[in-house]
Structure 1
Amino acid sequence: MGFVFSKIFKKLFGSSNSFNIHIVGLQNAGKTTILYQYNLGKVIETTPTLGSNMEEVNHKNVKLKVWDLGGQKSIREVWDNYFLESDAVIYVVDSTDKSKEDESMEEFQKLLKNELLKNAVFLIFANKQDIEGAMTADLIAEKYKLSDIKTHQWHIQACSAVKNTGLGEGLDWVVDKILEKNK
């Protein structure tokens, strides 16, 4: 019921310019590093996320609640608990880990079919582009069959979380799409 009233309030009185973004992907893809690049502007030593982290990030005069959800299989089973009122999903792919390619594609497809995310925009980060042998964003787009997606707005962005390259461009796209949807 609260969800309905918050939507009505936004329509009547304008958007509060505060939105929810969820960063997901398999373990060790770089999700937490991306979150702290957005929030602190630097790399910090991290350990695998057990559960979630939430940081508020201001970008383009918009307040974002950015949720970093752990990527271990046992934690992926409870991702749905976080997705209510999700405006965007940032799906992080470790572009260097070919051994988890099929598992990552399967998890991504589950997200696209998730009813709680039907109104979310999707940014796919092809992370770790600074490492030799990384799959390109174009190759990941082809393997994930992104051009077949008709249910969501999406964008793929090559990036390096540790070098802080491509992250700003990706978040710019997310914020622009969220604001377009909430006019």
Structure 2
Amino acid sequence: MNHSIESYSLHHPPPSSAFFFNQWLSESVTNSVLTFFKVVMLGLDAAGKTTILYRLHMGEVLSTVPTVGFNVEKVQYKNVVFTVWDVGGQEKLRSLWKMYLSNSDALIYVVDSLDRERIRDARQEFQTIIKDPLMANSIILVFANKQDLRGAMSTDEVSEGLGLHDLRNRIWHIQGTCALRGEGLYDGLDWLASTLKQLQESGHATSVAGPSI
């Protein structure tokens, strides 16, 4: 929630301390019903991860450059707040992905649906990540991005390419998306929020603690 700072003139004196207390109390009650989760967003370079992050965070498309390192933003959906870590996907950076996995409740894995030549690479990296002990409890959301482009793989093709149907004892969902238009993103976020809350309410752990970055 963004808060603006207002200025007050002599004609409009500042609010009383009671006003600020009531405002603080109202915000405290609101914050008390929020649920917080950590999400790590991974995928090969040029899949659209950063575009997705800022589309969700700001509601608009920003000009982006390849991520060297990471971006982290809070994304609120209904009464759920996700802290989303978007980690660079260039080959030289993938060995660093493990550093960001600790305490992750969910993995968002972004695939460039047009990039048929690298679907095997996407599968290899995906399988490596989900087999990491730190991701043992995390649920999985796959964004099959760039569905608006001619020649893009369908969600079924991406599912097969990643080996999703071969997963055992894992909770996953695949969602076709177009990050530039915002299509499919909130459908995926809705699944993520509702699934994590259901698991939390039933007492299932969705994260594994590890070294902090």
Q: TM-score, normalised by structure 1?
A: 0.89
Structure 2 partner of 1:96? 114
Match of 1:168 in 2: 186
Please name the residue that 2:124 is paired with.
106
Secondary structure of the residue that 2:156 maps to in structure 1? helix
Aligned equivalents of 1:120 and 1:83: distance in 2?
A: 10
- The one-letter code of the counterpart of 2:58 is L
Are the structure 2 counterparts of residues 65 and 153 from structure 1 closer, same or farther at C-alpha, using a change threshold of 3 Å? same
* Alignment of 1:143 onto 2:161: yes
Decide which structure has the larger Cα Rg and report it: 2
1:125 to 110, 131, 143: 143
Instruction: Confirm whether residue 50 of structure 1 aligns to residue 64 of structure 2.
Output: no
Shift of 1:143: 2.3
Aligned length: 170
Any idea what the Cα deviations from partners look like across 1:22-61, whole Å, max 9, x if unmatched? 1100000000000001001111000000111000111121
Given the superposition, is the C-alpha separation of residues 15 and 102 from structure 1 closer, same or farther in structure 2, using an over 3 Å criterion? farther
Instruction: Report the Cα distance in structure 2 between the residues aligned to 1:32 and 1:158, rounded to whole angstroms.
Output: 17
Note the C-alpha offset of 1:145: 2.3
Provide the alpha-carbon RMSD of the alignment: 1.4
Match of 1:85 among 103, 111, 119: 103
Q: Distance in 2 between matches of 1:16 and 1:74?
A: 37
SS in 2 for 1:122: strand
TM normalised by structure 2 equals: 0.77
Look up the SS of the partner of 1:124 in the other structure: strand
1:100 deviates by 1.1
1:176 is displaced (CA, Å) by 1.0
- Give 1:16 deviation, angstroms: 6.5
- Partners of 2:120 and 2:161 within 8 A in 1: no
Q: What is aligned with 2:79?
A: 61
| Structure 1: stretches of 5+ with no match in the other structure | 1-13
Asked if the contact 2:33–2:79 (Cα under 8 Å) also holds between the matched residues in 1, the reply is no
Q: Of the candidates 67, 71, 84, which is equivalent to residue 89 of structure 2?
A: 71
Deviation string 1:48-92 (CA, Å, 9 cap, x unpaired) is 001110001111211110110100112110111111100000000
Q: 2-side partners of 1:124 and 1:64: how far apart? A: 16
Are residues 17 and 144 of structure 1, via their aligned partners in 2, closer, same or farther at CA, if it must alter by over 3 Å?
Answer: same
Task: Specify the alignment match of 1:5 in structure 2.
Answer: none
State the alpha-carbon separation in 2 of the partners of residues 121 and 81 from structure 1: 18
Task: Choose 147-156 or 34-43, whichever is displaced more.
Answer: 147-156
Identity %: 43
